[in-house]
Every structure is written in structure tokens, then in C-alpha cells.
Amino acid sequence: MMKILLLLALIMVCCHGRQLTIDELIASASTVSNLDYLSDVEGGVVLWDMDMALLIDQWNALQGKDKSRKKRKAIRDMKYRWTDKQIPYKMASGVFGENDLAEIQKAMDEWSTYTCIEFVEATSHTNHVFFDDASGCYSYVGMIGGTQTIGLAGGCRYKGVIAHEIGHAVGFHHEQNRPDRDNHVRIVKDNIPENLYYNFKKYDASAVNTYNVPYDYGSIMHYGGRAFSVNGEFTIQTLNSADQGSIGNRAGLSFYDIKLANLMYSCSEKCDASIRCPSHGFLGKDCKCYCPGAPVQACDAETGTEGATKGPTTKAPVTAPPCENLNEHCQVWADAGFCENHQYLQLYCKKACNLCEKVTKATQPPCFDEKEHCSFWKDQGYCTGAYETFMKNHCKKSCDYCNLSSGSDMDTDNDSDGGSKVNGDDKNGVGKLPTSYWAYLSSLVVIFVTFVPTML
């Protein structure tokens, strides 16, 4: 098995010439040629920032739309915590091979080793996660009730990516969207397509509890410096250039990831209240103090001083990457003529789409409808009113918004409806994103079946 895993690692390096960051791994795993994946504007779930499936009330809170949240914050937070510190799980039958199951187990083991969160096989548990195949990588955030899917396409089945998706299920959001992120990183808007600004919107301070854990460049939940870049340049730039290579960790949990989970789930609640740990450390489930290590170590006279996290990260290169395709299906999609109207290809299939030297900064994207049902939604009156911003981002042609700015602002507290709203109901309960919504256009299905081999 070790030889197989080493071979997979070599393939990842050989195919791309470099080690991909966590967001690039997630993007490259997609088996459909669109960026938003899902498109039911009337649904009860929003797909956000590539891999987060949010219930409508969660999404509204992050946008600052739930004005009552400050009064009920503690109750609402606990609503999404897993009861008894246990995450019951099931595996889809006949989907995962031996190596896939080993990677899933390693990701669960990492969370359970360093925190008090336990993973138990679901039997009669009503609330549980369901690991299943998907057309990308995604997870719901926190315990939403009932069956909730953690979707793992073939390219998602590596420990780091799975640990990231489990992190969402635990209750973690993306680090680069924290309310205090401007004190640590700069978002370079010139390098981001205008209609994708919403992926960089800061979370509302009333919706996110950081537990006073410092901003973490090494977090498994932090995207890399070129996430959603239209030209290969930085979209997330650390204020201290020396930290640029730290973001985008795809190896495993960082010290502050572990500390945050221990605080969120009150892992030390049975310990003696008189125990005091260094301010940057934390009290673990075994009632011992832990400080930054690799990723943690017991606090002692040497580690009992302030220090930076030393997560199991590999520094990402800070030089511009070569022009490349990040998805094995890029050339097939490009040959089928999808480059012009599919922004996913423009971002992650630059070589196949001959975009290596053409783009120097983000420009207004070509005018087209990104969603299959735009014409229907227009007839329903969605071009104005509650869904206006969503339609400006995704249905420009139908709504005649081609010459208008999308109006999305990633740094303000306006009511931006940039995310993809979807319906999450199917045979697996509210937690499964239906396969039908993952296909951006129905015509792609024929192409995939005919030309695209199944991802291993």
C-alpha cells in the first residue's frame, strides 16, 4: 500500500510539475466543467467557495442577514455541534476502494488523535455523515441533522483533502474569510474575475466565533495564494511576504486547527479548573497542556513561551506556476468548445484553452448564462428583487446585465447573493447534493460518458 501511495504522490507532482495547494486539489478533482456545480436558485442549500454546502440560515448569517444572531449566538452555535463529541459515519457501498478507505481512515484518525472528537460507525444514529462519490469535493458545515454527505470525487481521496472536508463537517469555515483577515492577508481584486468576488467576502463577525485563536496561515482550511486567479498571480497575498508559502496547506491539521477544535468541543471540560496552560497553548482531552509542535507537543519550560504554529505544512512555491491544466479532463472540454463560456476552464485549464499569455488582469467575463435554468428564472421574475445579485452573477445574458457591474463586494456587509443556491434533498436525505445538479449542462453527460474515463 505504501508503494501505491508514493506512486500517487509522484503522479501528482509529475502531472503538474509542483505540489498543488489545498484549493487547487479541490478544483482539480471536479469531473464537470463548471465552477459552481449546482444551480437551483429556489433550493435550501448554498454551495459556497467551491466546497462548502451551507443551509440557508447559515449562509444568511455569514452574509450578515440574520440580525438576531448576536442575541442567540451561543444557542445557534451549539445547534451545529455534534452531540456527545461523536461523528457517526457511513460509507457508500461499492464506491471506495481499499486505498480510498485507508485515506478516509487516516483523515478521521488525525482529527480523533488530536481532539476529543470520535468517529463511530453509524448504526441507529439519526445524525451522521455519509461518505459518497460526487462530481467534486464538498461537505456541509457542522451537524445539520439527518444524513449529510461528504462528497469525494476520485481526485478528492487524499488524506489532506478529506481532513479539510471533515473540518467543515466539524464546524470549520475557510480561514481566509475570517472577519479579521485584513490584518493578515490582502485580497488582490485585479486578479479575480468580478463575478467570483463573493468567494472572498469576509464573514460577518456575529456569525463566526474564532475563540480568540490567532489567524492561521498554516491551517488546513486556508486556501492557497492563487485561489480563483484569472492570470496565475496572487489573489491572496500575505502581508508579510515570508508567510506566502505557508498558505494552502494540504498535508494535515495545524496546531491552531487542533486548538480551535478542542475549544469548540470543550475537550477539557472534565479537567481540573485550576490547570493553567500558556496563552498560546491549550488544555487537551487528557488534561495536559499542549503547545505548537509538529503539529503539537507537550508544553514545558522551552515551549511555554509565545511561538508560531508549526503545522505539518510543506511550503508552497511563491513564484508564478507554469501555465498548466489542473484537471485531467481539460483538453477534452477544450476540444468540445467549452473554453469561451465556462469560467472553470478559464481558471483551471489555461493551457488547453490557450490562455497562458493572454490575461494580465481580471476583466469583465464574456456575456453568457452560467446556469441551465436562467431563462426560466427570468420568466419567474428573479432578475430583480431578492435574487437580483445572484442573477447578475450567473444569468447576465437572460437578464440583460451584460454591460453592468455584478455589484458583488467581497469586503463590505452588503447583501451579496453570489453563492449558488441549490436543493439538497434526495434519497439520502437533506445532506446529499443530487448528482443531477452537479452537471452544468445536460449535454455534458453525453460527452463525459463517451470521452471521459472514470476518475480513480
Are 260 and 211 within 8 A, CB to CB? yes
Does residue 87 carry a pLDDT above 80?
yes
pLDDT at 436: 38
Q: What is the pLDDT of residue 331?
A: 85
In 63-121, where does DSSP find H-type helix? 69-79, 98-114
Q: b or e along 225-241 (b: 16 or more beta carbons within 10 Å of the residue's beta carbon)?
A: bbbbbbbbbbbbbbeee
Q: Would the annotation count 329 as a binding residue?
A: no
pLDDT in tens, 354-394: 887 765 555 555 566 766 667 777 887 878 876 676 677 77
Mean pLDDT of 261-288: 96
164 is in an annotated binding site: yes
**pLDDT-above-90 percentage for the chain:** 43
Residue with cell 498548466: 324
Most confident range, picked from 206-210, 231-235, 335-339: 231-235
Using 50, 70 and 90 to split pLDDT, how confident is the model at 432?
A: low
CATH number attached to the domain at 1-254+311-367+402-406+424-456? 3.40.390.10
| 261 vs 322: which has the higher pLDDT | 261
- Please check the confidence at residue 33 and state whether its pLDDT lies above 70: no
Which tens digits make up the pLDDT trace of 58-75?
A: 877 777 665 554 433 333
Tell me the average pLDDT across 214-240: 94
Q: Is 224 helix (H, G, I), strand (E, B) or coil?
A: coil
Spatial neighbors of 303 by CB under 8 A, at least 6 apart, are 278, 281, 291, 292, 293, 297
At 238 the pLDDT is 96
Please report how the helices 159-170 and 255-264 are oriented relative to each other, as an axis angle in degrees rounded to 10.
30
Catalytic residues: 165
AA identity, residue 296: V
Q: What secondary structure does DSSP assign to 186-203, as a single string?
A: EE-GGGS-GGGGGGGPPP
Residue 79 confidence (pLDDT): 84
401 pLDDT above the threshold of 90: no
State residue 125's pLDDT score: 94
Q: Phi first, then psi: what are they for 69, rounded to 5°?
A: -65, -35
Least confident range from 279-288, 335-344, 389-398, 411-420: namely 411-420
Assess whether pLDDT exceeds 70 at residue 456: no
